[in-house]
Structure formats: structure tokens, C-alpha cells
Amino acid sequence: MTTFSFASSFPFTLSASASSNYSLTVSTLSLPVSMSSFFATTSPPNQTVCSFDDTTLRLPLAVLYSLFFIFGLVGNIFALWVFLFLQSSRNSVRVFLINCAVADLVLLVCLPFRVFYHINGNKWVLGSVACKMVGNVFYMNMYISITLLGLISLDRYLRLKGKGRARRCMRMRLWGRSWAWTWVACGALWGLSLVPLVSMIATAEDKEDKEKCFQYKKRVQAKGKAYFNAVLVLLFWLVFIMLVVSYAKIASQLLKVSRDKPDLPNAQRYEQTAKKSFFVLFLFTVCFVPYHAFRPIYIISQLRETYSCDYLKLIDRTNEVMLLFSAFNSCLDPVMYFLLSGSVRKTALQALGHRLGNRLLFLNEATSNSSMEFRRPSVPMAFPNRELNTPSIIPRTSICVINSNLCRTGLTTLPTTGQQ
């Protein structure tokens, strides 16, 4: 029996992989055409894994998130200290600002995890559950802060329309105790936020890499998370529209009073107060609008598989930059508190001491003359010349003048309201 040595017929030798490929080719050639085409179509293609590890953004993200954490932590702790221990007023805005400061502090606690992740070469060492917990807590508190800022704008507008007195009497009895409606609203907001938070943490991702976190993820198999993110985007735009309408009406009313009643005391301060309302809206727009304008593009890319790797890398890089603006809002919120409430400004300057207060004398003057608060003054009215009906008022804020004098001058759109 004659044996044919295939290797001896060639002057060279084949490696193991090459010989296996060659034998596969020979075997397929010996098969019928239909069978060979079947093997050709079912062979695994060369799939390229899209890596989102952008080394150029590691250091900038780590530095910026560190600065946000330091300045935001100092500002919000100081604001919370003023709200809880120094400020004497007990109105609805104070309740919203306390909850907003708490939400910012919880968000800031998540930033050191992001800093460590980027410093460690974008490698996560705490497991997938911890990654989802930190990421979802970050987003939950961001949207809680957004909603609270919307409620503050709505409260300012209702006070301007003279509906604050009716809301002041709104109290709810829970667990044998009477609560103000503002505390009930904030408690309901926190409670409703915990439900999707737990579900987002418990739900699995498409492909969970324990060494990766805070990066682009596909939602082809976890479409519920993508749809929930779309609902949050819709919630933001509703709050944004409410902010624009409320502050625009507040500013237009103040400017109208300044033009129509220039003889009122401190009438020139109304324009400054109107500008403050636009500045608060400006800060909100800069921090949150770019991120949520880009968010629909990000969510659509998560649900489809037809995009190239380079396009997805661009999506991930843009999302990281936009998210920086949203995180920056936690540092700017104490500035908003300072602008929203004249009593907060006054108490904060007193807490900083006389030496710093003297250097910031212009802020102290602004505190006594203009504010976003709408309340009745605590000092009595005096009319030295009743024939001329010339009011002489020493209000704590310029809006006090609105609440106390416009009723006497015939403008009934701003009736007097007491403190809540």
C-alpha cells in the first residue's frame, strides 16, 4: 500500500494555524458548491470592538470634577448652615432652597468616584453595582435640583400674582402631625425619585464590563432605561419652559412698575431686581440646556446599531463635555440662593464677619434695596403729608415697596401678602 506524504511534496513546512486553514480550504473545495457557500457565509467575521477610552479627556475631567467638588461642597454647606441655623424667615422658598442644597451635596459626593476613575486610567475597581449606584444617584439628584428650581420660579410667580396667602394656609396632616405643603411636595419628590433609582440599579445593562464606568453604553437590550432617560429630558424641557415664563413675567411686571410709578421709593431698584431674575435664568440655561439639547441624539444612538465606531466615540466625547456644564451647576447654585433671597444675602454677609462685610458693602446695600422675595415690610407706614398722599417707607427690600405701596397707588396686580 502506497502512502502519500503531503509535507514531502513541498520544499517548505506550514505552521499549525496555516496548515489548519489550508486543510479547511482543501476540504471546502472538495465539497459541492452549495455546501462550500454555506461555510463561507457562516464563518465568524472580524468584529472590531469600539473602545471609548479617551485618554485626552482623563486629566481635564479629573481636574474639573475635583474643582467642582471643592467649591461646590464649601458653597452648599455654607448655604445649608445659613438656611438651618442663621436665617430667621420661614417661607416657602427657604424649604425649596434647603432641599436643593441637600440634592447638590449628594450629587457632589459622587464626584470623587469620577475623579478616582479617571486618575486610575478609566478603570473601575468597585464592581458594576457600585458603578450603577454612583451614576444613577448623580443623575437623580441633578433632576431633583432642576425640579426644585422650577418650583421656586413657580412660587415666585404665584406670590407676584397675589396667591401666596391662600397657599400659606395649605397644610397637610401626615403621621399625626401638620406639615406645610412645601415640605410635603419636597418629600413626595424625593420619594418618587427613589423608585426609578432602585429599578435602574437593579436592571442589568446590555454588556456589563466591571472595569468600565461612566462611559457610553448601548441600550439595545435595555430599552427601558433609554426610554426613561427620554422622559427625564422631557421633564427638563417642561421645567425650563416654566422657568422662562415665570421669570419673564416677574421681570416684565417689575419693569412696568419702574416705568409707570417712578415716584415710588426705590423705584430705580426694580430694574436691578428684574435683571437678577434674568441672570438666574441665564445660569440655568448655560448649565443644563446644552446637555439636554444633545441628549436626544445620545439616546437615539444607544438604541440603534447602524452607527460607526468613530461616530459613537464622538457622541461619548460630546456627552462628557456637556455633562461638565451640568455638574458645574452645583457650584453656581449657592450664587442663585444669594440672588433669590435678600434675607439669605443679609444673613450670609453677617456670618462672614464685619471685616469681609465692609469690603462687600455694595452687596449689603443691594440686600437692603433689592431682592427676589415678595413680602410685606415689617416696619409701619408713615404719611407725613396726607394731602399729597406721599408715602414715606423704609422697607427691608425693594419688593417690600411693591407689596406695600402699589395697592395705595392703584396698581392692584400686586396685593399685599404676608410671610409664609
CA distance 79 to 349: 12
- Decide if 390 is inside a domain: no
Q: What is the pLDDT of residue 45?
A: 40
Q: What is the pLDDT of residue 53?
A: 74
b vs e for 100-134, b when ≥16 Cβ sit within 10 Å of the residue's Cβ? bbbbbbbbbebbebbbebbeeebebeeebeebbbb
- Decide if 414 is inside a domain: no
Q: Which stretches of the chain drop beneath a pLDDT of 70?
A: 1-49, 87-89, 162-179, 206, 208, 262, 264-268, 353-420
- Decide if 330 is inside a domain: yes
- Decide if 392 is inside a domain: no
- Decide if 217 is inside a domain: yes
Q: What is the DSSP letter of 169?
A: T
- Decide if 46 is inside a domain: no
For 94-108, the pLDDT digits (tens) are 889 999 999 999 999
Q: What is the pLDDT of residue 52?
A: 75
CATH of the domain at 348: 1.20.1070.10
Total of domains in the chain: 1
Range of the domain at 273: 55-354
Helix axes 223-260, 269-303, angle to 10 degrees: 160
pTM above 0.75, yes or no: no
Contact 100, 149 (CB under 8 A): yes
Nearest in space to 398 (alpha carbons), one of 378, 419, 368: 368
Q: What is the pLDDT of residue 319?
A: 93
For 151-202, the pLDDT digits (tens) are 888 888 887 776 555 455 566 666 666 667 788 889 999 999 999 999 988 8
